[in-house]
Amino acid sequence: MCGIVGYLGEKEAFPLLIKGLKRLEYRGYDSAGIAVLGDDGKLQHHRRKGKVDDLLAHMEGRVPSGSLGIGHTRWATHGPPNDVNAHPHLSGDGQLALIHNGIIENYHALKETLVARGHTFYSDTDTEVLVHLIEEILKSSEDLDLFEATRVALNEVVGAYAIAVVDVARPGELILARKSSPLVIGIGDGEFFVASDATPIIEYTKNVVYLEDEEVAKVSLSSGLKIRTIKNHRVTPVITELEMAMESIEKGGYEHFMLKEIHEQPRSIADCLRGRLRLGHGAIRMAGIDDHQQMWTDAQRLIIVACGTSWHAGLIAEYMFEDFARIPVEVEYASEFRYRNPVIGEGDILIAISQSGETADTLAAIRMAKEKGAHVFGICNVVGSSISRESHSGAYTHAGPEIGVASTKAFTAQLAVLALCAIRVGRLRGALDEQRFNRLMVDLSGIPEKVEALMQLEPEIEKIAEEFKNAPNALFLGRGYNFPVALEGALKLKEISYIHAEGYPAAEMKHGPIALIDENMPVFIVATKDAHYDKVVSNIQEVKARGGKVIAIVTAGDSEVKSMADKTIEVHRADDAFVPLLSTIPFQLLSYHIAVKLERNVDQPRNLAKSVTVE
Ligand code: M6R
């Protein structure tokens, strides 16, 4: 939530900031702003409700000049999205400009103290309080410079922050800090880049330093990068090389990132399996499991925590681990799990699934589990993200950057990693015999090709989208492995088209949702040839008997469902456990085309943000 960019060097900062903000806009897009320090010592400060393009339109061609600047794209928490609440926020004397991602939980108390000391606030934000607090500390002690004043101020702050601060009096330096919100510093040749993630930086340098929690950094043209903890311990910066490719963050000829990412799935799933699924050796190599074999063999229970789409992947994983490894599994919304008093301890393995690796609730859940003695296995897409760094072990999904807010390729890559883990653990615990193990490996290795084949169905799916785009509601049904696919289908449709959609286990329909069914209700149902096929056929009949419209995902060659359903979409046959990797694709394409036809902002749907770093 919220995107932060910064630049200090010799180039003009403004174009870099705007480009960076556009790359980060997926993180939040209700207002945007920049502050650039000119060579004349004047701060050029512009903010606007809306997107980065609205900011540019508002600036009417005025291009701020200067080689130190910060920029922000906001996802509102404190106060509505408007010009005044947009970042950067300034100190009372206008000398400091600050951008912030996160929430200052004790901002109210801090604000009252500052008001009592004569500070005036113009916005509703917690951020403005922080910049005034730094100003207050700076003014109250002549011995403190901006770096020190920021460090001292952050000791008074409760909450989450990634910040960048510019001081008019210090044109050669930029102050940064983070706690629970990500911040990456790019180290160039005589220049520094700062951003919430590496996408705005990759074009200029591959050398980055990921700031850790409660660290404050100063980047200076004269003295380079210096880091201390907020408790004033010196930290030696660790430079990491980025592996991201430029093409992966561009649309590459597609109209939207979401469509590009849907089409990337044959490759992203193959990338995820590569090197891990070793058909020739009859083995699966998962470092995070291989290095802790005894622990996985002895584990009493798995607890999976995640949010949103990642939680749906967790539900499918529950079926996989139970099926392949015969190990009890609980799947929890991270936001619920962390606020309970769950019984958890040594012998439990907590699997945290998160595309961004920054989701606040998931991060908090893993911290709690670690405190209680559980081993944390993180499954993340973003390399170097907080969850990946705070987990004891784990696996990356290697899907490449996912820019569309609606998760698509990250979801299928999560399923692929989870399938590998479940099969590997199943073999380790002796629950899978060699024959089934080999069969599963062969089946899984064929998935990318089957996903590729599904892309050919796009024109057909687009026609279905045209037919159902004006439905006010939609129901998604599935059983077994395809129940979470129904949940994911409904989430996808609602988040990008704003059509109300609900996902249910097909058998639950008759316990309530059936009351909704009439001729205006499209029912999207996964009816592939699996262990539940006959039961799903009965559910389809129940819908048809009440006049509902059935759009069914079926196994290639199916004739029974075809004779009943209004529309069918064929997927190739696969092991039941891997069908979700196929059956989810038509739902992604369907949601995408419905949203496009309704002229929605597909990549940046209203009210959402890609990375939910607030609780
Ligand atoms: O980055 P994470 O996987 O932790 O994010 C979890 C959810 O916020 C995310 O999956 C969200 O539900 C997506 N918008 C779904 O498309």
Condensed to tens digits (0 to 9), the pLDDT of residues 145-173 reads 999 999 999 999 999 999 999 999 999 99
pLDDT tens for residues 442-457? Answer: 999 999 999 999 999 9
Alpha-carbon distance of 55 to 63, in angstroms, equals 12
Q: Is 610 annotated in the active site?
A: yes
pLDDT tens for residues 208-227? Answer: 999 999 999 999 999 999 99
Q: Which amino acid appears at position 495 of this protein?
A: E
Alpha-carbon distance of 169 to 37, in angstroms, equals 10
25 has pLDDT over 80: yes
* For residues 26-49, average pLDDT: 93
Ligand 1 atom nearest the C-alpha of 610 is 14
Ligand 1 atom nearest the C-alpha of 356 is 1
Mean pLDDT of the chain: 95
CB of 385 sitting under 6 A from ligand 1: no
Mutation pick for ligand 1 pocket among 358, 588, 612 (CB with most ligand atoms within 8 Å): 612
pLDDT tens for residues 470-508? Answer: 999 999 999 999 999 999 999 999 999 999 999 999 999
Domains of the chain: 3-246 (3.60.20.10), 251-445 (3.40.50.10490), 456-603 (3.40.50.10490)
Query: What is the Cα gyration radius of the chain?
Result: 25
Ligand 1 atom nearest the C-alpha of 405 is 14
Contact 553, 527 (CB under 8 A): yes
Other C-beta atoms within 10 Å of 58: how many? 16
Q: Is 15 exposed, middle or buried (0-12, 13-18, 19+ CB in 10 A)?
A: exposed
* 420: enclosing H helix or E strand: helix 409-428
User: What is the percent of the chain where pLDDT is above 90?
Assistant: 87
Predicted local confidence at residue 204, as pLDDT: 96
Q: Which of 131-135, 401-405, 590-594 has the lowest mean pLDDT?
A: 401-405
Predicted local confidence at residue 573, as pLDDT: 96
239's tokens: 């430079």
Alpha-carbon distance of 202 to 382, in angstroms, equals 14
In 184-287, at which residue ranges do the beta strands (DSSP E only) sit? 184-187, 192-195, 207-210, 215-220, 224-229, 234-235, 240-241, 277-278, 283-284
179 has pLDDT over 90: yes
346 has pLDDT over 90: no
1 has pLDDT over 80: no
Q: Among 344, 256, 254, which residue's Cα sits nearest to residue 305?
A: 344
* For residues 55-75, average pLDDT: 94
Give residue 608's pLDDT band: very low, low, confident or very high (50, 70, 90). confident
Give residue 253's pLDDT band: very low, low, confident or very high (50, 70, 90). confident
Residue with tokens 């500070």: 119
Q: Which residue has the higher pLDDT, 128 or 515?
A: 128
Ligand 1 atom nearest the C-alpha of 307 is 6
128 has pLDDT over 90: yes
* For residues 38-63, average pLDDT: 94
Give residue 510's pLDDT band: very low, low, confident or very high (50, 70, 90). confident
Predicted local confidence at residue 142, as pLDDT: 83
Predicted local confidence at residue 590, as pLDDT: 98
Residue with tokens 């090709």: 449
246 has pLDDT over 90: no
Ligand 1, atom 12, residue with closest C-alpha: 308
Predicted local confidence at residue 571, as pLDDT: 97
Q: Is 370 annotated in the active site?
A: no
Question: What distance in angstroms lies between residue 229's CA and the mean position of ligand 1's atoms?
Answer: 30
CB of 355 sitting under 6 A from ligand 1: yes
Predicted local confidence at residue 384, as pLDDT: 86
Predicted local confidence at residue 130, as pLDDT: 97
* For residues 423-450, average pLDDT: 97
Which residues are 69's β-sheet partners?
7, 36
Ligand 1, atom 8, residue with closest C-alpha: 308
Predicted local confidence at residue 28, as pLDDT: 80
611 has pLDDT over 80: no
Question: What distance in angstroms lies between residue 410's CA and the mean position of ligand 1's atoms?
Answer: 9
CB of 310 sitting under 6 A from ligand 1: yes
Predicted local confidence at residue 354, as pLDDT: 98
Predicted local confidence at residue 367, as pLDDT: 94
CA distances in angstroms from 377 to 173, 307, 391, listed in the order given: 38, 16, 6
Give residue 76's pLDDT band: very low, low, confident or very high (50, 70, 90). confident
Predicted local confidence at residue 196, as pLDDT: 93
Predicted local confidence at residue 607, as pLDDT: 87
Question: What distance in angstroms lies between residue 270's CA and the mean position of ligand 1's atoms?
Answer: 22
Ligand 1, atom 11, residue with closest C-alpha: 308
* For residues 296-314, average pLDDT: 97
Give residue 51's pLDDT band: very low, low, confident or very high (50, 70, 90). very high
Mutation pick for ligand 1 pocket among 338, 356, 584 (CB with most ligand atoms within 8 Å): 356
Q: What angle do CA 581, 595, 569 make, to 5 degrees?
A: 40
Question: What distance in angstroms lies between residue 588's CA and the mean position of ligand 1's atoms?
Answer: 15
In 317-451, at which residue ranges do the beta strands (DSSP E only) sit? 329-333, 348-354, 375-380, 393-396
Give residue 61's pLDDT band: very low, low, confident or very high (50, 70, 90). confident
The residue from 2, 272, 307, 380 that is catalytic is 2
* For residues 111-127, average pLDDT: 96
CA distances in angstroms from 430 to 5, 290, 320, listed in the order given: 50, 15, 15
Mutation pick for ligand 1 pocket among 26, 316, 359, 381 (CB with most ligand atoms within 8 Å): 359
Helices (H), 513-600: 533-545, 560-564, 579-597
Q: Which amino acid appears at position 597 of this protein?
A: K
